[in-house]
Structure 1
Amino acid sequence: MDPDPRTLLQALVRERGWTYSDFLRAYEAAARALAAEDGMSPPSATVAEQTFRRWTSGRTKTLPAKPAPQVLERMFGYGARPLLSPPPEMPLQAAPNHVNALNESEIAMTARDAAAHAGDAAAHSIADMTLEQLHDDVAALARTYNRTSPIEVYIRAKRLLATAQSALEHTRVPRQQAEAYLAAGQSAALLSAISFDLGSLPSAVSLSRTAALYGKVIEHGPLQAYAHGALAFLSFWSGRPSESIRYVSKAQAFGGLGDTALTRLSVIEARAYGHLGNRVAAEEAVRKALEQSTGKRDDLHDDIGGEFAFPSDRVAMSNATTYLLLGDANGAEESAEQALLLLGAQPEGERPLLISTQASVDLARARLLRGELDGVQDALDPAFAVPTEWRGAGTLERMAEVRSGLCHPDFSDSVEARTLGGRIEEYSAAATAHRLGAGTPLAIES
């Protein structure tokens, strides 16, 4: 038996026993009649067979251009929209055992319709090389993130996200769509990180959510975990450390995570507990971060790495901040010095400037926490040498903490403290992130 008609137009064509050729002749005649009634010269209105099949099969999502709607209404007495929509339910007129007659034209049309649909789907694909280049470009940006000017990172990441979104619009191949969604999510994650460094917290939050959604579409655990981890530290930056714990817990539950991903999440968890003043939980999270060693890897944090990675120098730097939140000057100083030692062992051109700067400032904060003004200046000297565009939001927040510490009554008579405080104010005022609106409510990992 014939399958149920997919549009009212298809039902009426079948009822009249029309082939495409019959429909075309009737369509062109109706178009000429309409033109004569309006006193216009006969139009060259016609309908290609592929268009006819699309109209009858229900694959038309919008009304066709004029004069098609008017011609169709004249032919059948129905408006174009109901004609191109599923037919209304009507009682069967034939007996239950009645079999509709088929002719060769109808069978051939069904075959052509199927071929056209398959051809239409095949046409909506892109070259695999395009996606390969996109993934190479995303990986390259992630790996050079800490050695590339923040503004340049932003420009390149924005371009990569646009390229990935364009790829999604031009392919219907499931494999290619998954690859494009992954590239879009990774690009959004990099844009979130750099937006934070440049001082735009709302944009960073929005872009992390975007990355999480792209990861959800393709059920990519590492991307979702990375994005939720970013949302966790953006939450305690915004003064909501309890929300950070919830984000971390959700991130840890995603599948396919390697040691690097879990180490990063433990470090963020420790920072959140530090903001909550929960020393026991914070120190336990620090311990988990340092002891994570199952040997598992994933394709984001490990295989691409770079900004998605979380090497030992970054772990040590972030742990220093956690110890500062807990008021542990010795633990903070030890971790900050370890971070600087690890960073110093790297070739000069490969050291992540944002991380080393924050470690230097945390070292100064640890010494200041003990009330030792001596050595604070030495610890800050590398940070003072950093160009304005590299003074990210995380660095500025840490500098603000040093400035606040220098206002302690113990240093009220110190010319050195006043001079150093003035330098910090000038340093922060000149920073690109400061000009873009970075605030300093809580310490954060950048």
Structure 2
Amino acid sequence: MARPRREPRTQLEHLIQQRDRTYEEMAAEFLRLEERATISARHLARMARGERAAAGATPATRRAFQAMFGMPLDDLLRPWDPNLATAAPANDGSLVVPSPGTERGIITMAAERARRFTLLAAESTTPEAVDQLRDDVQRLALAYPQRPLTELLGDLAETQDTLFALLERRQTPQQARQLHFLASVTSGLLAKASHDLADPHAAMLQARTAILCADQADHNGLRAWLRGLQSMVAYWAGRYAEAVRYAEMGTEYAHQGGGTTSVWLPVSAARAYAALGNRERALTAIRTAEDAWDSVEPDAVDELGGICTFSQPRTIYYAADALAWLPAEADNAVAFSTRAVTAYADRSDPAWAFGDEAGSHADLAIARVVSRDIEGAEDALTSVLELAPEQRINGVVHSVQRVHQAVTRAGLADDASDLIERIEDFTHTPLKALPR
């Protein structure tokens, strides 16, 4: 007598139970539906049991699930409801009839498949394809500072792969430069993503690939921007002298390019100098950054917007971050961090970034701890400690940990026990700890 099947835990498991095939056979089917959507039988089983979230799935994987089961992956991973009617899949492996309400997902899937066909099917890259890729990269650059990484990572990886696939073909010199430019920016975004996931090794690898592409594109503004990224990765990894070196390496390129990296690089160096305890060089670098705004002329990197351009609010935040390291600059630290918090108060501002807003609040908390204002520090940090795990990127976690360190250095641990407990709870679940 056959053993009765256990009650399914997800809609996906319910649909799989209706098919007379193993997980291994179904995993192999993914490759037929979408060549880039390979998935192991073990991974598929864990998703069916509700042990893996949909957030880390690539667009290709989502398309394959949509094609195989006739509904979006997010719907498939919802808890199974026996009262919810679901279309029975065919046992022969053919595609299911879509259930009502999934039409938008199918349209999105079809549009993405058409986009990929347009980009890769032609013998040579068309101007329209390059324009489409630029739009894709710009969309990601604009979204990156304002949306959780879990929503963007799949698109980033697929866009990079598409660009690399095109660059492996023969291109005209002009198209090759354009594609190398876009591949460089995308690799830079993935360097930032790796950093946000607390993987500095992968971040530097992506940055070096991006620099190789920038050299092929022969774009000084891009070279300078990437040195800024490397400086940022080194700074948050605690390699402050290295952060200064990368910032200085990009300075000549920034002067030639004329974009906002001519502000980013010196103020990045200021943070690292301050962390090294070099007050004079830190203050000089802050002044250099502020003066650089007088001669900025936005370049092609700045035109992408979002994370690819350095803004006035970020300048204030970086300066506050530098001053928070310097006990002798306590008053200036309060002033700059207060200005930074105000600058990021408007979430409708295109320059708004949740990570920089959080860093500004953390700097204000540090400045208030130095003034022995524990209540004010806790008030400044409250909104940061309420961030969802998806927004607890590496820089935010380190900023919060700096508040913890400031409290203990000031000998205020007993007075700030509640704040310390909240910080430790927050840092216990960073973005890097989430299942992907």
TM-score normalised according to structure 2 size: 0.67
Match in the other structure for 1:291: 291
Equivalent residues of 2:264, 2:310 under 8 A apart: yes
Structure 1 residues 346-398: Cα deviation after superposition (integer angstroms, max 9, x where no partner): 52797311111111111111111222212111101111221111011111111
CA shift for structure 1 position 197: 1.4
Q: CA distance change for structure 1 residues 142 and 333 in 2, over 3 Å: closer, same or farther?
A: same
CA shift for structure 1 position 426: 0.9
Match in the other structure for 2:305: 305
> Structure 1: where are the runs of 5+ without partners?
1-122, 437-446
Q: Aligned partner of 1:250: which letter?
A: M
Taking the aligned partners of 2:251 and 2:349, their CA distance within structure 1 comes to: 34
Q: CA distance change for structure 1 residues 371 and 166 in 2, over 3 Å: closer, same or farther?
A: same
Match in the other structure for 2:378: 377
Structure 1 residues 79-126: Cα deviation after superposition (integer angstroms, max 9, x where no partner): xxxxxxxxxxxxxxxxxxxxxxxxxxxxxxxxxxxxxxxxxxxx9522
Match in the other structure for 1:358: 359
Q: Aligned partner of 1:392: which letter?
A: I
CA shift for structure 1 position 304: 1.1
Match in the other structure for 1:21: none
Match in the other structure for 2:401: 400
Taking the aligned partners of 1:281 and 1:191, their CA distance within structure 2 comes to: 31
Equivalent residues of 1:222, 1:256 under 8 A apart: yes
Q: CA distance change for structure 1 residues 342 and 419 in 2, over 3 Å: closer, same or farther?
A: same
Equivalent residues of 1:228, 1:247 under 8 A apart: yes
CA shift for structure 1 position 194: 1.6
Q: Aligned partner of 1:155: which letter?
A: G
Structure 1 residues 310-356: Cα deviation after superposition (integer angstroms, max 9, x where no partner): 11111111111100122222222211111111122452797311111
Taking the aligned partners of 1:346 and 1:204, their CA distance within structure 2 comes to: 28
Match in the other structure for 1:339: 340
Match in the other structure for 1:226: 225
Taking the aligned partners of 1:313 and 1:156, their CA distance within structure 2 comes to: 28
Equivalent residues of 2:306, 2:351 under 8 A apart: no
Taking the aligned partners of 1:350 and 1:288, their CA distance within structure 2 comes to: 22
Q: Aligned partner of 1:258: which letter?
A: G
Q: CA distance change for structure 1 residues 237 and 380 in 2, over 3 Å: closer, same or farther?
A: closer
Structure 1 residues 232-259: Cα deviation after superposition (integer angstroms, max 9, x where no partner): 2322333432332322222111264224
CA shift for structure 1 position 162: 0.6
Match in the other structure for 1:203: 202
RMSD over aligned CA atoms reads 2.0
Aligned pairs (5 A) from 1:128-277: 128-254=127-253, 256-277=256-277
Aligned pairs (5 A) from 1:435-446: none
Aligned pairs (5 A) from 1:48-197: 125-197=124-196
Taking the aligned partners of 2:237 and 2:346, their CA distance within structure 1 comes to: 34
What is the aligned length? Answer: 311
Taking the aligned partners of 1:222 and 1:431, their CA distance within structure 2 comes to: 33
Taking the aligned partners of 1:347 and 1:262, their CA distance within structure 2 comes to: 26
The runs of at least 4 aligned residues of structure 1 exceeding 6 Å deviation read none
Equivalent residues of 2:316, 2:337 under 8 A apart: yes
Question: Residue 371 of structure 1: SS of its match in structure 2?
Answer: coil
Equivalent residues of 2:311, 2:351 under 8 A apart: no
Q: Aligned partner of 2:151: which letter?
A: E
Match in the other structure for 2:389: 388
CA shift for structure 1 position 173: 1.3
Q: CA distance change for structure 1 residues 159 and 347 in 2, over 3 Å: closer, same or farther?
A: same
CA shift for structure 1 position 434: 5.0
> Structure 2: where are the runs of 5+ without partners?
1-121
Q: CA distance change for structure 1 residues 239 and 405 in 2, over 3 Å: closer, same or farther?
A: closer
Question: Residue 303 of structure 2: SS of its match in structure 1?
Answer: coil
The more displaced of 335-344 and 400-409 is 400-409
Taking the aligned partners of 1:350 and 1:286, their CA distance within structure 2 comes to: 20
Equivalent residues of 2:228, 2:261 under 8 A apart: no
Q: Aligned partner of 2:334: which letter?
A: E
TM-score normalised according to structure 1 size: 0.66
Q: Aligned partner of 2:377: which letter?
A: V
Taking the aligned partners of 1:369 and 1:164, their CA distance within structure 2 comes to: 49
Amino-acid identity (%): 27
Greater Rg over alpha carbons, structure: 1
Equivalent residues of 1:317, 1:355 under 8 A apart: yes
Q: Aligned partner of 1:390: which letter?
A: Q
CA shift for structure 1 position 428: 1.0
Residues 1:320 and 2:299 aligned together: no
Q: Aligned partner of 2:156: which letter?
A: A
Q: CA distance change for structure 1 residues 213 and 349 in 2, over 3 Å: closer, same or farther?
A: closer
Q: Aligned partner of 1:364: which letter?
A: A
Question: Residue 125 of structure 1: SS of its match in structure 2?
Answer: coil
Equivalent residues of 1:147, 1:350 under 8 A apart: no
Equivalent residues of 1:146, 1:354 under 8 A apart: yes
Q: Aligned partner of 1:314: which letter?
A: R
